[in-house]
Amino acid sequence: MNTNEKYDFVKNSLQKKYSFFAGILTTCEEMLDATWKNELVSDLERMFGAVEGQEFAKALDGYVEFSIDAAKNQQYYLKHDHYKSSNFSEVKKELYDNEEHMLGNYLPGMLVSHYIWPHHYKMGKRYRNEIMPWVKKKNPSLFVEVGTGSAMYSKLTMLALETINGIGYDISPHSVTFGKRVAEAFGFSNRFKFVQQDAFQNPPKDKADFVVSQEVLEHLEDPLTFCKNLCNILKDDGCAYITAAITAAHSDHIYLFKSPKELSSMLEEAGFRSVLEIEEASIDTRVPEKTPRIAGHLLVKA
């Protein structure tokens, strides 16, 4: 099969099993650029094997679960004006430490969402096109990511910065397992180490040139302290990329950012200065003021 045939196979699989979730691919075809389809097919096959195989089908199941989780929790948020979860330890026990949830649907689902949710895809593209060239000019040698999750941003960073070495921290053993698979699949495992721990309990002894924390802040009870800690592990002349989901619910989202301004103020209070801000919104704008969004900042120390 060529790329177009493989893509059609994926679309038909989704259509047959989950027709409610297949329409978004038509939207992607209309909204996204010509390279998107190739990336979807080649990256996801690299990770999950051939499009007609079982592992690929399971990843699509994971994506659907991930999307249902988001929709159910967004409905809760719209009704109650706060996210359903509020306790980090409970979320950790029920979700991050739950192998079936993490490896069965959450992590593959989140990875697939970076290729199917237009705002996720566009943030990744802008990271490659707008953030990476700026960071590359500074010739960084040590990259630290906190909260690697599906390792999408570990992968984007390691592939864009061909000589950098990296360490990725995640409190979930399953995120670490999944991240190692991503690193093997995309050929950067010799330059990147995944570590299962809270990065700030035993912080890296060498300060980083480049720090990334992508869609982690909304998972925390105290994101301000977390941002201050991110600032502390960064060299004085280093730079960071930090994002958060805004008015976007999920079963593991705890901290509600009601606007991009709340995020930028928090980053400033933590000791950062924003060099560039990027933001993308979900295509689902049914409740305009509560449209799920992601805001991200390229930062230096203030």
Ligand X SMILES: C[S@@+](CC[C@H](N)C(=O)[O-])C[C@H]1O[C@@H](n2cnc3c(N)ncnc32)[C@H](O)[C@@H]1O
In the complex with ligand X, the residue whose CB is nearer, 172 or 247, is 172
Asked if 299 touches ligand X (CB under 6 A), the answer is: no
CB of 28 or CB of 220, closer to ligand X: 220
User: Phi-psi category of 280—alpha, beta or left, where left has phi over 0 and alpha has psi -120 to 50?
Assistant: beta
Of the residues 44, 60, 64, 152, which one makes contact with ligand X according to CB under 6 A: 152
Q: Residue 222 in contact with residue 167, Cβ under 8 Å?
A: no
The contact mask relative to ligand X for 108-137 (x = CB under 6 A, - = no) is --x---------------------------
Instruction: Kindly tell me which of 110 and 281 has the beta carbon lying closer to ligand X.
Output: 110
Q: Is 198 in the site for ligand X (CB under 6 A)?
A: yes
211 binds ligand X (CB under 6 A): no
Report if residue 175 touches ligand X, rule: CB under 6 A: yes
From CA 131, how far away is CA 163, in angstroms rounded? 17
Q: Please tell me the distance from the alpha carbon of residue 293 to that of residue 280, in angstroms, as a whole number.
A: 6
**With binding defined as CB under 6 A, does residue 150 bind ligand X?**
yes
* Contact set for ligand X, span 54-113 (CB under 6 A): 96, 110
Pick the binder of ligand X from 153, 192, 255, 272 (CB under 6 A). 153
Residue 149 binds to ligand X (criterion: CB under 6 A) = yes
Residue nearest to ligand X (CB): 149
For residue 121, give both structure tokens: 């895809």
Stretch that binds ligand X, among 1-9, 47-55, 72-80, 149-157 (CB under 6 A): 149-157
Q: Which residues are CB-neighbours of 243 under 8 A, at least 6 positions away?
A: 123, 213, 214, 215, 217, 294, 295, 296, 297
**Residue 143, φ and ψ in degrees, nearest 5:** -115, 130
Interface with ligand X, residue 170, by CB under 6 A: yes
Distance CA(157)–CA(161), nearest Å, equals 6
Measured distance CA(3)–CA(162) in Å, rounded: 26
300: Cβ–Cβ under 8 A, 6 or more apart, which residues? 237, 238, 239, 240, 272, 273, 275
In the numeric block, which tokens belong to residue 49?
Answer: 């094997």
Interacting span for ligand X (CB under 6 A) from 24-32, 134-142, 169-177, 181-189: 169-177
Number of residues that make up the chain: 302
Q: Which of 43, 69, 209, 215 binds ligand X (CB under 6 A)?
A: 215
**Token pair listed for 96:** 């991050």
Q: What span, in angstroms and rounded, lies between the C-alpha atoms of 210 and 144?
A: 6
CA distance 242 to 96: 21
| Shortest Å distance, C-beta 74 to ligand X | 15
* Contact between 146 and ligand X per CB under 6 A: yes
- Name the site residues for ligand X (rule: CB under 6 A): 96, 110, 146-147, 149-150, 152-153, 169-172, 175, 198-199, 214-216, 219-220
